[in-house]
Amino acid sequence: MIMFKLFSRAAVLGILLAITIPAQADDLQDANKLFKQGLHAQAMEKVNAFLDAQGFKQTRLRRKMMDLAAARRGAENVTTPHELAEIMALVHEGRALSAASKADLLRLLETPKAGCLTRLLPEELPVASKPGSLGGVRNEVGLVLLKGRPFVIAVMASHLRDERQGEAAIARIAQRVTELLDLAAASSPEGRILDPLQAR
């Protein structure tokens, strides 16, 4: 499943990273404290209430990270590509975050990581991303700061017999979307390329 969102100007939220990043939202601050105290159920309630308040009804925290026993019981953390892209857009636009929290979060998301979204993109192209992987699952969301046409992309792949194929697909999708939007940003409405391409 793929979702991407365009922006008319450079303007990213913290995925479920918001749980561990000090945001200004009191509910998330309280959730951090509850997690640290081992009160996971109460912490998850606060996080899910925050997500509800932001309009994210399909993104649910149902277990603490890496709790295989809970996952086997069906308590899986879930989201959709659409909501993941919207959450990243929320960060980019600075909604629900202070300016300092937004800057901290973007700095963290822009740190190079072992994801696959940027594998086929030019190294100099700024990308803020968050990969996720579990057995048979590869997901990634990113804010690609393409000059003139920044965009958010979220790609999710599951039931992967060969996880490397999922990683390669995410990289190819990100490359193709970036190339198409780069061409659109550099071209006139009639299709003439007026500006240098960034994604070469």
Residues pairing with 19 in the sheet: none
CB 156, CB 139: distance < 8 Å: yes
**Structure confidence at residue 171 (pLDDT):** 95
CA nearest 30: which of 16, 54, 41, 46?
A: 46
Residues pairing with 4 in the sheet: 153
Q: In a structure prediction context, what are the per-residue pLDDT tens digits for the chain, which is 200 residues long?
A: 445 444 332 222 233 333 333 343 556 667 777 777 777 787 888 888 888 888 888 888 888 777 888 888 888 888 889 998 988 888 888 776 778 888 888 888 888 888 899 999 999 999 999 998 888 999 999 999 998 889 999 999 999 999 999 999 999 999 999 999 999 999 999 999 999 888 87
**Structure confidence at residue 67 (pLDDT):** 80
DSSP secondary structure letter of residue 111: S
**Where do the structural domains in the chain lie, given as residue ranges?**
2-186
Q: Helices (DSSP H) in the chain: which residue ranges?
A: 26-36, 40-53, 68-72, 81-93, 99-110, 163-186
CB 151, CB 144: distance < 8 Å: yes
Q: Is the pTM of this model over 0.85?
A: no
**Structure confidence at residue 162 (pLDDT):** 95
Q: What is the DSSP string of 37-81?
A: TT-HHHHHHHHHHHHHHTT-SS-B--S-TT-HHHHHTT---B--H
Token pair of 89 as six digits:
């857009």
Mention the CATH class of domain 2-186.
alpha beta
